[in-house]
Amino acid sequence: MTTLDSRPTTSARPQQIDARGPRFAAAITVVVLAATLLTIDSTLSVVLLSIQTVAFALGSLVGLHAQPYGVLYRKAVRPRLGAPTKLEDVAPPRFAQTVGLVFALVGLAGLLTGVTVVAYVAVAFALGAAFLNAAFDFCLGCEMYLLGKRVLGSRAAA
């Protein structure tokens, strides 16, 4: 059993989250990644992308309950909002964090090795996906997860 703020009431991992949390996190991600693109070729871009990489890693590897922007949402924003009208499964947004992590790692590798074109492309893809979520409530990573489940599920049934 879980609470609406996605903290487990038992030792089990949360299964449902407030659907507004990932959208809030995506909005912060947009700002961080846009600032990264605007400062490419500077130490600030490495710092910003490193921060975002850690945020993605926590959301992906530890769980959404540990993602810093999600913690900020639960502690500072959610108490000021009404109860969520929509809950969602935690697996698709967590997968989206994993996809973001891969793009952030590729971008960071590009920055650290001086191959800025790789950094531009990787960060731009991650920024585009985060923007879709923040502006239009369309989680590209979540849709990839659901498509994968349908494709792999149909193969398992065959």
pLDDT by 10s per residue, the chain, length 158: 344 444 444 445 558 999 999 999 999 999 999 999 999 989 999 999 999 999 999 999 999 999 999 999 999 999 999 999 999 999 999 999 999 999 999 999 999 999 999 999 999 999 999 999 999 999 999 999 999 999 998 666 65
Per residue in 31-72, pLDDT (tens digit) is: 999 999 999 989 999 999 999 999 999 999 999 999 999 999
Could you tell me which of 24, 102, 13 has the C-alpha nearest to residue 57? 102
Q: What pTM value is reported for the model?
A: 0.88
Cβ atoms of 39 and 76 within 8 Å: the answer is: no
Class of residue 48 by CB neighbours under 10 A (exposed 0-12, middle 13-18, buried 19+) = buried
